Structure 1
């Protein structure tokens, strides 16, 4: 479950940057981007709370691999 939340949090944070650029190019306030960013940060913290050990930067590619089924747990 923590892998899924980690992947979801990273994807939401990356998506928020893209949404912010699009909304700023349309001269609209980036409200949806801020919501995506906050949701991504909440997902990251929830994943960290459920994980028995702390996250490291190397855990992100491993979590993507486990969630997408590239290799087992």
Structure 2
């Protein structure tokens, strides 16, 4: 009994090659020119603050390590 490929889905059906987000598809990136008159000094930019729970956990872990190394 011979197997035939009739009725099977073609995995390449409906595909046109490269995906739209693939490099070389003609989509161009653009560079925004910075206006020196509107620049903001780094000190004035919003800074991320550490998450309190993470800081607390790190301090606890570090204190445990110090206590554990005194044996």
Q: Specify if TM > 0.5.
A: no
TM-score normalised by length of structure 1: 0.29
Question: Which structure has the larger Rg over C-alpha atoms?
Answer: 2
More relative contact order in 1 or in 2 (CA 8 Å, sep 6+)? 1
Structure with greater helix percent: 1
TM-score normalised by length of structure 2: 0.30
